[in-house]
Protein backbone atom coordinates (compact mmCIF):
# COMPACT_ATOMS: atom_id res chain seq x y z
CA UNK A 1 0.00 0.00 0.00
CA UNK A 2 1.48 3.34 -1.08
CA UNK A 3 0.40 6.83 -0.03
CA UNK A 4 -0.46 9.07 -2.99
CA UNK A 5 1.38 12.37 -2.60
CA UNK A 6 -0.04 14.25 -5.59
CA UNK A 7 -3.82 14.33 -5.50
CA UNK A 8 -5.88 16.02 -8.24
CA UNK A 9 -5.97 19.86 -8.05
CA UNK A 10 -9.54 19.84 -6.69
CA UNK A 11 -8.25 18.66 -3.30
CA UNK A 12 -5.91 21.64 -3.02
CA UNK A 13 -8.69 23.97 -4.15
CA UNK A 14 -10.93 22.56 -1.44
CA UNK A 15 -8.24 23.17 1.16
CA UNK A 16 -7.86 26.78 0.00
CA UNK A 17 -11.63 27.23 0.35
CA UNK A 18 -11.07 26.35 4.04
CA UNK A 19 -12.75 22.97 3.76
CA UNK A 20 -12.41 20.98 6.98
CA UNK A 21 -12.38 17.40 5.72
CA UNK A 22 -9.05 15.59 5.57
CA UNK A 23 -8.20 13.05 2.85
CA UNK A 24 -5.53 10.37 2.46
CA UNK A 25 -5.37 8.21 -0.67
CA UNK A 26 -3.42 5.00 -1.15
CA UNK A 27 -2.62 2.93 -4.24
CA UNK A 28 -1.87 -0.80 -4.30
CA UNK A 29 -4.43 -1.34 -1.53
CA UNK A 30 -6.44 -4.51 -0.93
CA UNK A 31 -8.98 -2.81 1.34
CA UNK A 32 -8.57 -5.21 4.26
CA UNK A 33 -9.48 -4.07 7.76
CA UNK A 34 -5.81 -4.21 8.74
CA UNK A 35 -4.87 -1.91 5.87
CA UNK A 36 -7.67 0.52 6.69
CA UNK A 37 -6.72 0.68 10.37
CA UNK A 38 -3.09 1.30 9.45
CA UNK A 39 -4.09 4.01 6.95
CA UNK A 40 -6.46 6.02 9.16
CA UNK A 41 -3.73 7.74 11.27
CA UNK A 42 -2.38 9.31 8.05
CA UNK A 43 -5.47 11.50 7.81
CA UNK A 44 -5.83 12.53 11.47
CA UNK A 45 -3.97 15.81 11.27
CA UNK A 46 -2.80 17.45 14.51
CA UNK A 47 -3.80 14.35 16.46
CA UNK A 48 -1.82 13.05 19.43
CA UNK A 49 -3.58 9.72 19.79
CA UNK A 50 -5.06 6.82 17.83
CA UNK A 51 -6.34 3.58 19.33
CA UNK A 52 -6.75 1.06 16.52
CA UNK A 53 -7.95 -1.65 18.90
CA UNK A 54 -10.70 0.63 20.19
CA UNK A 55 -11.82 1.51 16.67
CA UNK A 56 -11.87 -2.17 15.76
CA UNK A 57 -14.19 -2.81 18.71
CA UNK A 58 -16.50 0.06 17.71
CA UNK A 59 -16.52 -1.35 14.18
CA UNK A 60 -17.88 0.05 10.95
CA UNK A 61 -20.94 -0.23 8.72
CA UNK A 62 -20.90 -1.02 5.01
CA UNK A 63 -23.10 1.63 3.44
CA UNK A 64 -24.46 2.52 0.01
CA UNK A 65 -23.61 5.71 -1.83
CA UNK A 66 -27.00 7.22 -0.92
CA UNK A 67 -26.22 6.96 2.80
CA UNK A 68 -22.64 8.12 2.28
CA UNK A 69 -23.67 11.33 0.49
CA UNK A 70 -26.70 11.94 2.72
CA UNK A 71 -29.43 14.58 2.69
CA UNK A 72 -27.33 17.44 1.33
CA UNK A 73 -26.96 15.77 -2.07
CA UNK A 74 -29.36 15.14 -4.94
CA UNK A 75 -28.27 11.83 -6.54
CA UNK A 76 -30.36 12.37 -9.66
CA UNK A 77 -28.66 15.63 -10.66
CA UNK A 78 -25.38 15.17 -8.79
CA UNK A 79 -25.88 18.56 -7.13
CA UNK A 80 -25.12 19.64 -3.60
CA UNK A 81 -28.10 21.02 -1.69
CA UNK A 82 -28.36 23.69 0.97
CA UNK A 83 -30.88 21.90 3.13
CA UNK A 84 -33.42 24.09 4.88
CA UNK A 85 -35.91 26.90 4.27
CA UNK A 86 -34.48 30.32 3.46
CA UNK A 87 -35.60 33.82 2.48
CA UNK A 88 -33.51 35.69 -0.07
CA UNK A 89 -32.97 39.46 -0.21
CA UNK A 90 -35.42 39.73 -3.12
CA UNK A 91 -38.15 38.19 -0.95
CA UNK A 92 -38.18 34.78 -2.61
CA UNK A 93 -38.53 31.64 -0.51
CA UNK A 94 -36.00 28.87 -1.07
CA UNK A 95 -36.46 25.28 0.04
CA UNK A 96 -33.43 22.97 -0.20
CA UNK A 97 -31.92 24.97 -3.09
CA UNK A 98 -29.08 23.52 -5.12
CA UNK A 99 -25.77 25.17 -4.37
CA UNK A 100 -24.96 26.00 -7.98
CA UNK A 101 -28.05 28.24 -8.20
CA UNK A 102 -27.01 30.39 -5.24
CA UNK A 103 -24.31 32.48 -6.93
CA UNK A 104 -25.19 36.12 -6.27
CA UNK A 105 -28.12 35.21 -4.01
CA UNK A 106 -28.10 36.96 -0.64
CA UNK A 107 -29.86 34.88 1.99
CA UNK A 108 -31.42 37.03 4.69
CA UNK A 109 -32.83 34.36 7.01
CA UNK A 110 -33.19 30.64 7.44
CA UNK A 111 -31.25 27.77 8.95
CA UNK A 112 -30.72 24.05 8.97
CA UNK A 113 -29.88 21.64 11.76
CA UNK A 114 -26.59 19.73 11.95
CA UNK A 115 -26.59 15.95 11.77
CA UNK A 116 -26.18 14.23 15.14
CA UNK A 117 -22.44 13.83 15.84
CA UNK A 118 -21.30 10.36 14.88
CA UNK A 119 -24.66 9.31 13.44
CA UNK A 120 -23.04 8.36 10.13
CA UNK A 121 -23.13 9.26 6.46
CA UNK A 122 -23.66 12.88 5.37
CA UNK A 123 -20.42 13.35 3.43
CA UNK A 124 -22.01 16.08 1.30
CA UNK A 125 -22.95 18.07 4.41
CA UNK A 126 -19.47 17.69 5.90
CA UNK A 127 -17.82 18.72 2.63
CA UNK A 128 -19.91 21.79 1.90
CA UNK A 129 -21.05 23.13 5.26
CA UNK A 130 -18.19 23.80 7.71
CA UNK A 131 -18.99 26.08 10.68
CA UNK A 132 -17.92 29.30 8.94
CA UNK A 133 -18.75 28.36 5.37
CA UNK A 134 -16.46 27.75 2.42
CA UNK A 135 -14.58 30.71 0.94
CA UNK A 136 -15.80 30.31 -2.64
CA UNK A 137 -18.82 30.91 -4.84
CA UNK A 138 -21.46 28.20 -4.45
CA UNK A 139 -20.99 27.11 -8.08
CA UNK A 140 -17.25 26.68 -7.48
CA UNK A 141 -17.94 24.55 -4.40
CA UNK A 142 -20.20 22.39 -6.57
CA UNK A 143 -17.51 22.03 -9.23
CA UNK A 144 -14.82 21.05 -6.73
CA UNK A 145 -17.17 18.62 -5.01
CA UNK A 146 -17.95 16.92 -8.32
CA UNK A 147 -14.25 16.44 -9.08
CA UNK A 148 -13.50 15.05 -5.62
CA UNK A 149 -16.57 12.78 -5.77
CA UNK A 150 -15.57 11.33 -9.13
CA UNK A 151 -12.04 10.68 -7.91
CA UNK A 152 -12.94 8.88 -4.69
CA UNK A 153 -15.88 7.04 -6.32
CA UNK A 154 -15.06 6.72 -10.05
CA UNK A 155 -18.36 6.34 -11.94
CA UNK A 156 -17.09 3.34 -13.92
CA UNK A 157 -16.10 1.29 -10.85
CA UNK A 158 -17.79 -0.25 -7.86
CA UNK A 159 -16.77 1.18 -4.50
CA UNK A 160 -16.82 -0.42 -1.06
CA UNK A 161 -17.76 2.29 1.44
CA UNK A 162 -17.27 1.71 5.17
CA UNK A 163 -18.59 4.24 7.67
CA UNK A 164 -16.54 4.30 10.87
CA UNK A 165 -18.43 7.29 12.27
CA UNK A 166 -19.56 6.74 15.83
CA UNK A 167 -20.65 8.92 18.79
CA UNK A 168 -17.70 7.41 20.70
CA UNK A 169 -14.95 8.27 18.20
CA UNK A 170 -13.34 10.62 20.70
CA UNK A 171 -12.30 7.43 22.56
CA UNK A 172 -10.32 6.47 19.44
CA UNK A 173 -8.47 9.74 18.85
CA UNK A 174 -8.38 13.27 20.25
CA UNK A 175 -8.87 14.39 16.62
CA UNK A 176 -12.59 13.76 17.07
CA UNK A 177 -13.09 15.67 20.33
CA UNK A 178 -13.87 19.04 18.73
CA UNK A 179 -16.63 17.76 16.43
CA UNK A 180 -18.46 16.12 19.31
CA UNK A 181 -19.44 19.59 20.54
CA UNK A 182 -21.95 20.11 17.72
CA UNK A 183 -20.74 20.15 14.10
CA UNK A 184 -20.09 16.43 13.83
CA UNK A 185 -17.46 13.72 13.41
CA UNK A 186 -16.91 11.78 10.20
CA UNK A 187 -14.70 8.85 9.29
CA UNK A 188 -15.02 6.88 6.05
CA UNK A 189 -12.94 4.38 4.10
CA UNK A 190 -13.60 3.82 0.40
CA UNK A 191 -11.93 0.98 -1.48
CA UNK A 192 -12.13 0.67 -5.27
CA UNK A 193 -11.15 -2.98 -5.97
CA UNK A 194 -10.75 -2.55 -9.75
CA UNK A 195 -7.93 -0.03 -9.32
CA UNK A 196 -6.68 -1.01 -5.83
CA UNK A 197 -7.31 2.47 -4.44
CA UNK A 198 -8.14 3.21 -0.80
CA UNK A 199 -9.36 6.63 0.35
CA UNK A 200 -9.68 7.63 3.99
CA UNK A 201 -11.82 10.68 4.83
CA UNK A 202 -12.03 12.25 8.28
CA UNK A 203 -13.64 15.37 9.67
CA UNK A 204 -14.07 16.95 13.09
CA UNK A 205 -14.26 20.62 13.99
CA UNK A 206 -16.18 23.20 15.99
CA UNK A 207 -16.69 26.95 16.03
pLDDT classification of 207: cutoffs 50, 70, 90: confident
- Give the mean pLDDT of the chain: 94
What pLDDT is stored for residue 108 in this prediction?
A: 85
The number of domains in the chain is 1
In a domain, 25, yes or no: yes
In a domain, 60, yes or no: yes
Q: Residue 141: which domain range?
A: 2-76+115-204
Strand ranges of the sheet holding 93-95, from the earlier edge strand across to the other edge: 93-95, 85-88, 107-111
In a domain, 102, yes or no: no
- Quote the percentage of the chain above a pLDDT of 90: 81
What pLDDT is stored for residue 45 in this prediction?
A: 85
In 3D space, the residue among 168, 160, 51 whose CA is nearest the CA of residue 116 turns out to be: 168
In 3D space, the residue among 28, 31, 50 whose CA is nearest the CA of residue 40 turns out to be: 50
* CATH number of domain containing 174: 3.40.1000.50
In a domain, 108, yes or no: no
In a domain, 84, yes or no: no
Contact 184, 115 (CB under 8 A): yes
pLDDT digits (tens, 9 = 90+) for 94-122: 999 999 889 888 888 887 777 888 889 99
Amino acid sequence: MKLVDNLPPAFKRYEKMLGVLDFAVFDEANGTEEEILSAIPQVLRHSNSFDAARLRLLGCKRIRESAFFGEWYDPDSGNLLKVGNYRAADGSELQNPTLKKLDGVKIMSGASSCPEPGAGGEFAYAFSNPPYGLQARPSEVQAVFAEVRDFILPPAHRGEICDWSNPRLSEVSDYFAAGMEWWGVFLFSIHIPAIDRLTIIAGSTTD
